[in-house]
Structure 1
Amino acid sequence: MSLPDRLRAPLISAVVATLISGLLAYAPTAAEAAAKPDRRPASAGANTPAPGTRAAMLAREQRRAKADGLTRSRVKFARSSYLCVGYKACNQAGMGSGGYAAVNDKMYWRMYAGHNCTNYAAYRMVSSGLPNTRPWSGGGNATYWGTSVPSLTDKVPTVGAVAWWKANAGPAGSAGHVAYVERVVSATEIVISQDSWGGDFSWATVTKASGNWPSGFIHFNDLKLVNKAAPTVSGIAKVGSTLTASAGTWNPTDAKVSYQWYANGAAIPSATKSTLPITGGLLGQSIKVKTTASKTGFAKKAATSAATAAVLPGVLTSTTAPAVSGVVKVDKTLTLNQGAWNVAPDSTTVQWYADGQPIAGAVTGTLKLTPDLAGRAITASVTASRAYYDPIAVATAATAPVALGTIKAKRKPTMTGKAKPGQTLTVDPGLYRPTDATAAIQWLRDGQPVPGAVGTTYRVSGADLGAKISSSITVVRAGYATTALTTPVTARAKATPRIKVERVRLKHGVKLRLTVLTRLVPTVEGAVQVRVQGGFRQKVVLRHGVARLRVSDLPKGKRALKIVYLGSPTVARVAKRGTVSMP
């Protein structure tokens, strides 16, 4: 796996240039350390440095290095390898120096203080608990580290180890390089923290594919997985029960934990989960669990729980409670899932209940919900039996009360006839399931019940003028929800009028008096449209059922006449044709 991209933040170009241009990793030999003023801490036997300027001290160190044959070695990592540069920037990014930033003016393992890979790596080892005494004799340059302690050096990266590069290997120069292994991402990718001569503190990613893989890893004092609290076993140790193990407490906390259960000290085959079902074969044996923590870059660590008392004989128990499934509604069928048991029963029996009362004959895995069960809560009980176990009865949770059934229309209601006064409308109520459901018909005028208007027929009267007629069919059956359907509404009921025309001859035209009347409406309102052959057209509003108009300016002779009453909410549209003679 690779580190998240967010860790590969862009580096300040000037700092990166400084890193790449001059990383020197070396330390003085024992002879050099003896000749040089010792700047080790007092606890390590350090002497107070001789007075002098920093420049003078640096020049003196350079002369001694040259006299001892030490050479500057430059470390060259690709810019993309760096995750952070500088104590402050790295600390803000959550990648600290382990406290080195505050004490880098001191010498560790007789390494030069300050920005120096060997002094930093030595500091991390001393911080891990090792004494501030170089654990080998001879040169302190990074290239000598791995060869000086071959028994501690191998090719396996671990967290807390020192990553070591021989002289001129990978990114190292002629003095080699060392760094501290912060993380092991995989067998081919690690994250290191390092300091460098002439450069700065940094964190970086190293992969085998980059060509910068260390020459080896020195395991002075690797970080270890630590068990802070042993695993524990909870549950009752008896046949048929399940024991549960805790993982224990580990540091680092993100270590992966595996399990192995034991009976009387012997590993139980395939018992590698955090839970252990206790079978009859474990009767009388003491149980314990061992948890093993693992994390990439760390050696595995195991811890063992205390042993339980000897496993007791068990009881037949339900591990998965029986349950009822299905739609809880009249005409539907419920199904019983008998659940699961810690051991297989020899036999089971079933009984269904309604509101806690046994339902006669309901002893199978299914139950048809009949109308008499409407409104009652349903449960089922499963009784399991097995030789050498006590029988046990387990009930399901109660269902909601059985809902009323739904009456279904096999054929929807229809209505025939015309909504005209004196005409009869007829409704077919339709067909329904169940077939013994009964239908009641109520006639509606503009959606409101017409008092006393029930049954399959309805005679339209003057009271219906201007209204739309429909019917409501209510279907009922015990144990079922009432169903109500409505037929489509008719057009508005209207009276059919007649038009009476009176003509009065004038000197230059004709005067027409038009009367629109019907016996069902005392006074017809609305308007009439009059057309006379030759181009005459006029719309006239009725006044008390009468319209008057004058037709003139047409050629002499007989002309076709068309009168159209345009209708009203209670009176239908009607037309009349005739002739008129123009003088």
Structure 2
Amino acid sequence: MSLRSRLRAPLIAAASAALVGGLLAFAPAPAATASAAPAAAPKGDRPSGKAAMLARENRAAADGLTRSRAVFARSSYLCVGYKACGQAGMGSGGYAAVSDKMYWRMYSGHNCTNYAAYRMVHSGLPNQRPWSGGGNATYWGTSVPTITDRTPAVGAVAWWKANTGPAGSAGHVAYVEKVVDSDEIIISQDSWGGDFSWAVVTKASGNWPSGFIHFNDLKLVNKAAPVVSGVAKVGATLTASPGTWNPTDAKVSYQWFANGVAIPSATKSTLALSGSLLGDVIKVRTTAAKAGYAAKAATSAATSAVLPGVLSSTRAPVISGTLQVQHVLSLETGAWNVAPDSTSVQWYVDGQPIAGATVTKLRLTPDLAGRAISAAVVANRAYYDPITVWAPTTAAVAPGTLRTTRAPAVSGTAKPGQVLTVDPGAYRPTDATTTVQWLRDGQPVLNATGPTYQVTAVDLGAQISASVTVSRAGFTAMTLTTPHTAPVRVTPRIRVQQLRGKHAVRLTIRVTAPYVSPVDGTVVVRVQGGFRKVVQLRHGVARVRIVGMPKAKRALSLSYRGNRTVAAVARKGIVRTPGP
């Protein structure tokens, strides 16, 4: 009996019952994407039916969390449901008890991607999606192409692209439980809108996966352990071979151990035996790593105890403090196996001694920005060779932060012919330098970089501001922008002519402004006694006819409302209405 037949035999009755009970949904169903369960809409606003489903899918797609459904032929299923599969010895790897949780930010519950992600996390991977971008099943293989191939393996993720085989528009993923041969596999899977199941997939079925993703299933093999060579004596250097590995292109890292405890920062193929290792036995552990393979470690045989001859450090010096210009670092000098008669300190920058830096405090001056700091402690004791112990080298010192004590500002009148002036502000350190760039509507004005700016007709309608860049060696430069002025406008002039007829007065209103011709916009005409009319300027001219008012001398008010380049203005006068 074949493996497939043996696996199916105890499940025939359970699968038949599931089919009769309607547990299997074999009708084609569209794949969909969804995020974590969205908050419920107010009762009166909830869509229903197909519209509700589409709305949920659209919201879900925005989060990159996926729910996908795959439909196989009936004959492909070996079991359906957590209970039936568990009774048949085909479990979910514990997913049934934790399916309400999200793995790799996938949608929880019955969902193929959350199940596959859980199996990867359960196998030892962190609960963090191994790629950036969407989580739909169709993206899995394309997002990690270096560990995706056409070779099935137990523990790999079987992956279907969208609309391939049983998968819908979101694709499908499953967990490879068994590899019968190169043409047949057995998978476990979950499915949105369906249920947990085991199934047989063959190439002949047309449902063969698009690929297999080897997140954590391939194994590195150690053919020979690493070997330590050299004399185990303080001051000597031990060298480790990497060992022999398959595949041969695996990347090998090193960790040295003294008496079974990892030596801090000892991660190269060589190890200098400092006094702190006196009397210890030394081993090296090499770890091989390769994308798609589980890391593998191998340990060398132990050396003999390290011979005496020098002082040894029992606690290495430590540098503490904020790695930024203007801050102070402190050096804790460590401890020794035997109390030294004296110790001395020397600070270093990029491996070179810092003149005069021989105490346990170091102020980070601007010239140290971008450079790494280290420190050495030299211990001396009679009848012992001097020993130098280094504190771990820091990361690069960050530039200092400039501080604003007075913000920059622009003063002056934003009119053509006027001059604007910028106060660049004040900063700490006080010797920081400033450069100015004038802006028109937020864009740099060509060749406008001085402390003043001559407003011209080109600026009409624009808002003027200044960008001030503050810099100083050893500090992060910063740029501040002043508040912008009001739009640059010119002040117009209103003139009015009156032409009185027998029963009406005709007003001709002209609005002119320097640099702007013609002036457009509207004028509000008010005449004492209740007359009001809004007129549109045409080529800078508007006409108004006043009729039906009793004969009288009346107050006249003209208000030009202005536009982006011309300011608003008003004029008062007198008009004599001739009467009806």
TM-score range normalised by the length of the shorter chain: 0.3 to 0.5
Q: TM (normalized to structure 2)?
A: 0.46
**Greater Rg by CA:** 1
Q: TM (normalized to structure 1)?
A: 0.46
